[in-house]
Every structure is written in C-alpha cells, then in structure tokens.
Amino acid sequence: MPPGAPNALLDSLTCVISTANATDLESLAINVVRGISMDAPAAANSGHQGTAMALAPLAHVLWTRIMKYDPARPDWPDRDRFVLSNGHASILQYAMLHLTGYDLSIDDLKAFRQWGSRTPGHPEAGHTTGVEVTTGPLGQGFANAVGMAIAERYLRGTFGADVMDHHTYVIMGDGCMSEGVSHEAASLAGHQKLGHLIAMYDNNHITIDGNTDLALSDDSAKRFEAYGWHVLDIGENAKDLDVLESALNDAKAETERPSLVIIRSHIGYPSPTLTDHHSAHGLAFGADEITAAKDVMGLPNEPFYIPAEVKDFYGAAGAAGAEESTKWDERLATASIDRDHWEACWGRTGVAGWDSNLPTFEAGKSVATRKSSQAVIDAIAAGIPGLIGGSADLTGNTGTKLDGLGVQSADEPDGRQIYFGVREHAMGSALVGMAHHGGVIPFAGTFEVFADYMRPSLRLAALSNAKAIFVFSHDSVGVGEDGPTHQPVEQTMSLRLIPNLTVIRPGDATESVGAWQAAIASEGPTALVFSRQNVPVQAGTNAGSVAKGAYAINEVATPDAIVIGTGSELGVATDAAELLAADGTSVRVVSMPSWELFTEQGNSYMQSILPPGIPTVSVEAGVTMGWQRWANEAIGIDRFGASAPGNVVMEKLGITPDAVAEAVRGLL
C-alpha cells in the first residue's frame, strides 16, 4: 500500500499483500472493476460502461485510501458521504459497494437494470444500500453534495468535531458541468466556504453527441477559482493512484474552501477500439469489444470475474472502517453535547414539547398565511434543533426567517438561517442533499411560481423520499400587480402531480399551524403553499384536522350541496355558502388543504366528508384540471392572470362567492 493509507487498513491487508505485489494486486483489482463495468451493461444490453472504466482507478483510491466508511454500518452518522453526480456510471458505484462488503451481492450486479433489482440504471437512495442520494439528472447530485456539506458543517458547529467531522465527495462529469444548476451550486458552495466538500471533475471530453468541443469550451478551473474554490488540475493522471491520492489529500487539507480536482480521463479505457469514442458513453459494448478490452487487461473472458485475492483486498478495505466507527461510538458516549438535541436532530423531529407554544388566531381576523407560517416558525424553531433553512433572496416575503438563530457561514457554522441567494435551482437540490445527509430538517422558501425552477429537485425529493420542506408563498393571482409572470395558476396542480410529494395549501392562519405540524410529522417531502394577501381566519377551521387532508368546517348533517375551498379561496367558499343559505340551500363547506393527506385517510373517511350523490363545487384560483376527481364542477382559472390589484384580478377572473353560488344553483 502507498504512503498515507490508514494504519488499520495496512494491517488488515498484510495477509493479502504478502501473496502478491501490491502494485500488481491493485492493478488487477482496478481491471476487475473495469471488467464488471463492461459485463453488467452487456448482460442488460443497456448501460454506460465507458465512464466507469475510465474512473475505476479513482474509485479504487477513494474506497481503499481516502474515504471513511463502514459497510456493516451504512447509516453511521459520521461516515464520509459519496455522491455519483454523473449517475449514468452507476455500475462503478455498484461494483465498489459489492467489493467492499456492502449488502449488494454478485447476483445484484448480474441483475443490473432489471425489474426488481437493487442495481437500477441510476443510483437511488433508499433502494440500494450505500447509495446516499438519487442521481441521474445531471448536476443535481453535485448540488445535493453542496447541501450535504452544509448539513455536516452545521452539525459539526453545533455538536463538535468529536462526533461530526467528515467530508462529502462527489464525482461529476462534463454534463454536470454544463447544466445550469452546477453554476448556482458551485457559486453557493464557494461563498459558503465549504471546506469539507471535495468535487472530482471527470474531464473526459465526451458527450453522447460526440466530443465536448461541439458545445463546451469553458475553462472550468478559472470558473471554479472565480467562485472561490481550491482547484487542483492533475491533468493526464487519471490512472496514477499516487497522484490521485495526493490530490485528494491536498483537497482534504484545504479547510477554508471547497476543492475541485480536475482529472483528464479517457472514456472506455483500455478498450483498443472505443477508448475516447462517444459510443463508449451510452451503448453497451458488444462481445468482441469486451473480449478485446479484457485481453488488453489480461483478464479471462469470463463475465463478472472476481478472483479471491481481489475480493479479499477490497473486503479488507471495507472492514477497516469498523474500527473507526467503533471509536466514534466511544467518543459519542463521552461527548459533552445536548443529548435531547442530538436525538431530535437524528430523529428528524423536535424535543419534547416542541409544539407546546403554537400560535392561535382569532376568528374573523385577516392574516396572510405566509405571515401565520412565520409565526409558527417563530414558535417551533427553538424546539426543533435540526430545523435549518431560509430562502432564495425572499426571506421576509416568504416568512422563512429563523430569528436570532444565527446565519449559516464559515464564521458561524452553527447558524441556522441560510441565505441561498437568487438560486432556486441550487436551493432545492441542496435541500435534498441536506435531507439525505441526515441530522437536519431542511426548509426553504420562494414564490410559488418559481417552483418551476425547482422541478428537478422537487421530483427527486419525492422519488427518494427526502424529508425536506419546500415553502411556497404568493400562491395565486391574488399576488396582483406583478402580473401573470408572477401569478401561479398551474403550479399548485403541477405540484400535486408529483407522486409522493405532500402538497398542503392551508385556507387560513389556523390551518397554517396544522400544515407545519403535518410537515414535521411527515417522513417524506412536503410543499407548503401560502398566500401573499390577507385571508380571513375561519371560525370552523382546526389545525389538527389538516392532517386529514379535508374536513367540514361547518355543521351540516344532510347538505343539499357541498362547496370545497382550498388555500386563500376558502373564504370564497364560506361566503358562497352564506349566499346560498339565503336561498334556503343547506351547504357543507369543506376545507381541503391537501389532496394527498385526504387520500391517505381511505374511502370510508373520504365518503363521510364528500358523500356520493351530493352536488359538489370546488373553488381554487388556479387551473381546474384534476378537480373533477372531487367535484361536479370546478371554479378556477384556465388562463394566465393579469397585472392589477389582486382583488380586482380575482373578481375579473371569476373567483367570487357569486360565481360559486351560481355554479351550485346550476347543479341543483
């Protein structure tokens, strides 16, 4: 083993090294990884082997010389985090997880990309042991890593380096560098001076269309230096283990800035016919190409060939982490930390009594739900030590202030307020990374119309069940004078389309309290949608009922009709019910803050709230598509808004009690 390898690892590999020259054994091990990287895509007739082959030496160095991990304890809180941002090279990560002893079998490798396998086409958190985040859409994993580094620094600043002191490593490719989210995330990381973040840029010059010269001519080194990163360009040394190790150790030694290691690799190496060819990127090698490459490497033409000495070598590297994780247990047991806060952070909840001082609101008062949301945050933040977040330059506008709890920065690492700047793309992705790091409940806010900037991160949060809270304010055309560019009409419904994302649009200040309670209780991602304009506090709303998704806010046992209101239109529904009451029509008003939570209650409860056969009208200041599930007729806005005072826009576009009442009369 080279200088710098952990002593425990050296000791554990002595018996292996004694049977073969270390350099020869490592070369064989790397070639075995390359062989697996070809065999799995070939078996699936689908996949990306070229990048995995080129980066096998880097992966070898990371898993045997650099990273701190314990395969027997994949959720060890102080492990190093690894992210494969160019997730199409997933077979590389799967090969290393299998070889180093994670719960991933050779049969799992052979089932690459097949139905029900634990080796899907791109890495998926919660699906494959050892995979930290779900990657695939390029650049997202890199931005996730930035979030992980923020979470690590916050926990280190809060509890001390004895119990929290690790690095986040992320491999990224030319595609990640090209996507806009990487620019935002790199800028944020440089500004935050995230010294425990180390990115490795696989600069292989190849995309699906061909050479990157077709579309990319950035100077990445200068770009990242301008962002405030520590940049190491090791040039044509992608196969030199000692150079790779030295660069990564230099990056670890730089504690004041994030580090970027630029590696000029050659995709498909050492294929004699497809090295540096774009076909090596996304097309599985045929039998002839695999045979030729294995001949060059001196490997037998045997699929998934793993000789015992290689398996033992990597297994010993993985087992060496157990000693470090045991020592960490000992440090944690004697650490002078607030145990209640530690348990609350890692339990993703609050300390006992965290919700004992929730605000209440007087019926009849008029309060914007973004303001009541801020009041809830003020009341719960002290009792939820893992609650950390902010907004994209809209802290006051969105009600996402953590007053008096410090600003997250290198100078104040235990600060809980994050100023993400005008970077919604990176903000959303960082939240996902923070959630998957663990120890925090991340939240962040922006205007709802800008949820469109965050679509990839919202989708990946839902796909990977990341417990993050996305706060969206200015929820309708009631925004007013800013006009249609800032008036969401399709955004709420588009959020509801995302599977596994709980969308809660509270109807008043009281329901805002319940919305936050539901978000903290959730195991996955939540989108909270709040109003800019004041809305009346209703006499019948109840914070605890928000968790049911929908409930009646007035007592009508046998209604003639039902009106469903949601968000800032709940008041329109109650006013319409009063108009209809004057006609002698008995109307049940149902508040429906969350379709998802309502559906979870089951058919019996849903039919008790919305009995079949009773004429039902919904009202929401947005597109009507989808409301047919709950209502016979939907009052909404199937066009873009307009620039005018919010109440004028609502009236002109038909979001009025009269319009709702007339719709009910028509059904009756």
Identify whether 358 is part of a domain.
no
Q: What is the pLDDT of residue 23?
A: 65
Residues 230 and 373 in one domain: no
Q: Examine the domain organization and report whether 505 and 559 are in the same domain.
A: no
pLDDT of residue 284: 83
| Average pLDDT of the chain, as a whole number | 95
Per-residue pLDDT for 299 more than 50?
Answer: yes
51 and 185, same structural domain?
yes
Band (49; pLDDT cuts 50, 70, 90): very high
Domain of 318? Answer: 7-326
**Which string of DSSP letters, residue by residue, matches 115-162?**
TT-SS-SS--TTTSTT--S---STTHHHHHHHHHHHHHHHHHHHH-TT
Same domain, 13 and 120: yes
Q: Kindly state the DSSP code that residue 23 receives in the 8-state scheme.
A: H
Q: Take residue 455 and report the two structure tokens written for it.
A: 């679509």
Q: Is 424 a catalytic residue?
A: yes
Query: What pLDDT, on a 0 to 100 scale, did the predictor assign at position 559?
Result: 96
Of 236, 295, 312, the C-alpha closest to 38 is 295
Backbone angles phi, psi at 138, to 5 degrees: -65, 140
222: its two tokens: 């200068």
pTM for the model: 0.95
Distances (CA, A) of 663 to 490, 587, 627, 666, 667: 22, 13, 14, 5, 6
Reported confidence tier of residue 3, pLDDT bands at 50, 70, 90: very low
Q: Is 511 helix (H, G, I), strand (E, B) or coil?
A: helix
DSSP class of 170: E
The per-residue pLDDT for 283 is 83
Residue 17 DSSP label: H
Q: How far is CA 228 from the centre of its chain?
A: 24
Note whether residue 354 is domain-resident: no
Residue with tokens 């699929």: 303
Question: Among 22, 38, 499, which Cα is nearest to 268's?
Answer: 38
pLDDT score of 8 more than 80: no
Q: How far are the Cα atoms of 349, 350, 356, 384, 634 from residue 353, in angstroms, in the given order?
A: 11, 8, 5, 10, 41
The reply to whether 361 falls in a domain is: no
51 and 95 belong to one structural domain: yes
- What b/e readout covers 296-332, taking b as 16+ CB neighbours within 10 angstroms? ebebeeeebebeebbbbbbbbbbbbbbbbbeebeeeb
| pLDDT mean over 425-434 | 98
| 138 and 24 in a common domain | yes
The pLDDT of residue 6 is above 50: no
116 and 252 housed in the same domain? yes
Share of the chain above pLDDT 70, in %: 97
Asked whether the predicted pLDDT for residue 356 surpasses 80, the reply is yes
> Is 390 within 8 Å of 418 (Cβ atoms)?
yes
Residue range 268-291: mean pLDDT, rounded: 93
Residue with the two structure tokens 């916050």:
154
Give the closest residue to 343 by CA, choosing from 376, 377, 289, 383: 383
Torsions phi, psi for 572 (to 5 deg):
-65, -40
Residue 2 has pLDDT above 80, yes or no: no
* pLDDT tens by residue, 154-205: 999 999 999 999 999 999 999 999 999 999 999 999 999 999 999 999 999 9
Q: How confident is the model at residue 9 (pLDDT cuts 50, 70, 90)?
A: very low
> What is the number of domains present in the chain?
3
Catalytic hit among 424, 448, 569, 596 = 424
16 has a pLDDT exceeding 70: no
Q: What integer pLDDT is reported at residue 63 of this predicted model?
A: 98
Q: How far is CA 121 from the centre of its chain?
A: 18
Per-residue pLDDT at 20 exceeds 50: no
Could you tell me if residue 249 is inside a domain?
A: yes
Kindly state whether residue 346 falls inside one of the protein's structural domains. no
In a domain, 333, yes or no: no
Pick the last residue of a domain from 326, 342, 374: 326
Residues 6+ apart with CB under 8 A from 12: 316, 317, 319, 320
